[in-house]
Structure 1
Amino acid sequence: MLRWTEGYLERKGDERPRLSAEWLLCNVTGLSRVQVYMDFDRPLMRDELDRMHQAVVRRGRGEPLQYVTGEMPFRHIVLRCEEGVLIPRPETEILVDAALEGVDAAPMTFPPVMGEMPDHEPSEGEGPDAGEASGTGDESEVDDGGEAGGEVRGEPRQILPAGCRVLEVGTGTGCIALSIAGERPGTRVVATDLSPKAIALATRNRDALSLQDAVTIVECDLASGVDRELMGTFSVLVSNPPYIPTKVLANEVPSEVRDHEPALALDGGEDGLDVFRRLLEFAPKALAPGGMFCVELYEGSLDDAAALARETGEWESVEVREDLTHRPRVLVCRLARRES
């Protein structure tokens, strides 16, 4: 089965047919790669053959492996992946490393703050009004974070305890938010996304990792659904926004990505910086003094992005970092500390 699948996928143009064949066979049998090689003489059961056939056909049509198998390892966790939500990339692990530096450098003494809704039913005359409690109150009161007036959906509000706070914009599968929360216990993460599919998937991934108490997930544009009381209290703002320039997406990105992954999570506009500009304007409002803004961007856009950040005069430092292939990938900006 391994040899046949490798040959079939090679004829279909798979760039790494052996790896794809191994991944599919492991997924279908529930075996590790080592176990597959140790059990070459084990016949496949009928249901395994059927599922393997379906998986090979899907992969042969160019569907990403992560969608076919339904999962993707990322750092120290395994995430569910589904069509309609961006697949995590290894280079994004560098973005997480940068965000963790900001977490490690942050004070852990922030006081508790009202988050997204009280975790009890307010009595008459207590707590927010009905509009605020439903999460569909007047968006125009939020400083910025997104287009005012749009529908915002989230979870029941809760008290955010004392501790370092991180805001992630555009969470997708939740890979960044869940890695930060899992690797730095005690950190409180608020993660947002505009896509209902992404919100649902990130929520399932979070619950599977038992990180409900550490990660709050909000459906909104940028950060328009994040409680305004939290603005100015985040130690880190991290984002992997859509950043591929439109022409690059149309002409240079592999069809496996372009035809299957959501354009909403890929297309960054003419220069790839459409969403970045909004984040750059919003970041100083969200961050505490000395806070860190970490964003993943297209390699050809990093110099322009760094120049835009320096022009604002808001940042104490602006740094471009390379990914695992030594290409510029992550912009790290540290907010100046305000004078007392």
Structure 2
Amino acid sequence: MRTDWTVLELLRWTTGYLEGRGVTSPRSEAEMLLCHTLGLDRLGLYLHHDRPLCPEELARFKPLLLKRAKGFPLQYILGKTEFFGVTLRIHPPVFIPRPETEVLVEAVLERLKDEGSPLIADVGTGSGNVAIALAKNLEEARIFATEISPAALLLARENAQANGVSSRIYFLSGDLLLPLRDLEIPGGLDAVVSNPPYIPTGDLPDLPQEVKHEDRRALDGGEDGTRFHRRLAAESREFLRPGGLLAMEVGDGQAERVAEILEGYGWEKVETLEDLSGTERVVLARA
């Protein structure tokens, strides 16, 4: 790599380099890597487009670029990600929040907006993204966030603290709804919300390289990808008030099957919602 780069020259070269390695949004990622290295925001990057980089800056930038080119997730390199207007810390192997999960959050917010002080369970909270987004937008909500991974649970607590909602989110260690069994929740929950693992086990070897850096437990949804949806359909009602909401994210092509599972367990008002790409992404039902 040359040693006499300006910001704009390096940005252009990096964009081409990442594009050649199959990165989907090479310009955007090149900008973020340079912003991270130089301590600038995007506007600052272009205001200083003709500034030469010093050797120390180039030395910091090169290993980050090489990691990204080898398929290491950008969010892990930056140590942060954005979700529903919230900045979250993220590190391997904790599951990285996806934009399509915002549809799940929007659906829950719309259906709980008239509840005074809703009680919600976020099952499999991961980095805490769903619980934190709900707490930020439902100011009277109290949320029980469960997680089986100790690393994810610790990170979720840190993210809640950083975003000023830790006093209203109760983090519980354990598998799905099991941690709630020891609690007494007067009247039951208003909603159980989950983005469970939903990739069929047989599809895991064919995932993109960058996804393979994430915790397999957060990805593997069993033979047909609906193992955890089945468990939530079977187990959630006992924790919900009458008419309470169950909201789950699903994988591509799974919505119809998950809706059938819910109907088989006697859930009412089953409906599906599409994400911005037109894929049925969320399944909702009432107890």
Q: Give the whole-Å Cα distance in 1 for the aligned partners of 2:192 and 2:101.
A: 15
The offset of 1:232, in angstroms, is 5.2
Residue in 2 that maps onto 1:191? 145
Asked if residue 308 in structure 1 is aligned to residue 254 in structure 2, the reply is: no
Larger % of helix: which? 2
- Which residue, out of 275, 282, 288, partners 2:241? 288
Q: How does 1:1-340 map to 2 (within 5 A)?
A: 1-106=10-115, 108=116, 163-226=117-180, 227-230=182-185, 233-251=188-206, 253-257=207-211, 259-313=212-266, 315-335=267-287
Q: C-alpha root-mean-square deviation of aligned residues, in Å?
A: 1.5
Q: Deviations over 1:257-306 (max 9, x none)?
A: 1x211110011011111111111111111111111100001122111110
Seen in structure 2, the aligned counterparts of structure 1 residues 272 and 105 have a Cα distance that, compared at 3 Å, is: farther
Q: Deviations over 1:160-191 (max 9, x none)?
A: xxx21110000011110000001111111110
Stretches of structure 1 that go unaligned for 5 or more consecutive residues are 109-162, 336-340
Q: Give the whole-Å Cα distance in 2 for the aligned partners of 1:105 and 1:316.
A: 20
The offset of 1:35, in angstroms, is 1.8
Q: Give the whole-Å Cα distance in 2 for the aligned partners of 1:168 and 1:45.
A: 46
Q: Give the whole-Å Cα distance in 2 for the aligned partners of 1:164 and 1:97.
A: 15
Seen in structure 2, the aligned counterparts of structure 1 residues 97 and 319 have a Cα distance that, compared at 3 Å, is: same
The offset of 1:45, in angstroms, is 4.3
Q: Which amino acid aligns with 2:191?
A: V
TM-score (norm. length: structure 2): 0.92
The offset of 1:238, in angstroms, is 0.3
Q: Give the whole-Å Cα distance in 2 for the aligned partners of 1:3 and 1:69.
A: 20
Q: Which amino acid aligns with 2:276?
A: L
* SS of corresponding position for 1:191: strand
Q: Give the whole-Å Cα distance in 2 for the aligned partners of 1:263 and 1:94.
A: 23
* SS of corresponding position for 1:333: strand
TM-score (norm. length: structure 1): 0.78
Q: Deviations over 1:41-91 (max 9, x none)?
A: 223344432221121011011101111111111111111111111111110
* SS of corresponding position for 2:171: strand
Query: Contact conserved, 1:196 with 1:219, CA < 8 A, in 2?
Result: yes
Q: Which amino acid aligns with 1:44?
A: L
Query: Contact conserved, 1:319 with 1:332, CA < 8 A, in 2?
Result: yes
Query: Contact conserved, 2:177 with 2:236, CA < 8 A, in 1?
Result: no
Q: Give the whole-Å Cα distance in 1 for the aligned partners of 2:257 and 2:21.
A: 39
Q: Which amino acid aligns with 1:181?
A: A
Seen in structure 2, the aligned counterparts of structure 1 residues 285 and 234 have a Cα distance that, compared at 3 Å, is: same
State the identity %. 42
Q: Deviations over 1:281-337 (max 9, x none)?
A: 111111111111000011221111101111122x230001111100011001122xx
The offset of 1:225, in angstroms, is 1.9
The offset of 1:231, in angstroms, is 7.2
Query: Contact conserved, 1:243 with 1:298, CA < 8 A, in 2?
Result: yes
Q: Give the whole-Å Cα distance in 2 for the aligned partners of 1:68 and 1:212.
A: 26
Seen in structure 2, the aligned counterparts of structure 1 residues 49 and 286 have a Cα distance that, compared at 3 Å, is: same
Q: Give the whole-Å Cα distance in 1 for the aligned partners of 2:278 and 2:85.
A: 22
Q: Which amino acid aligns with 1:329?
A: R
* SS of corresponding position for 2:223: coil
* SS of corresponding position for 1:229: coil
Query: Contact conserved, 1:231 with 1:287, CA < 8 A, in 2?
Result: no
Give the length in aligned residue pairs: 277
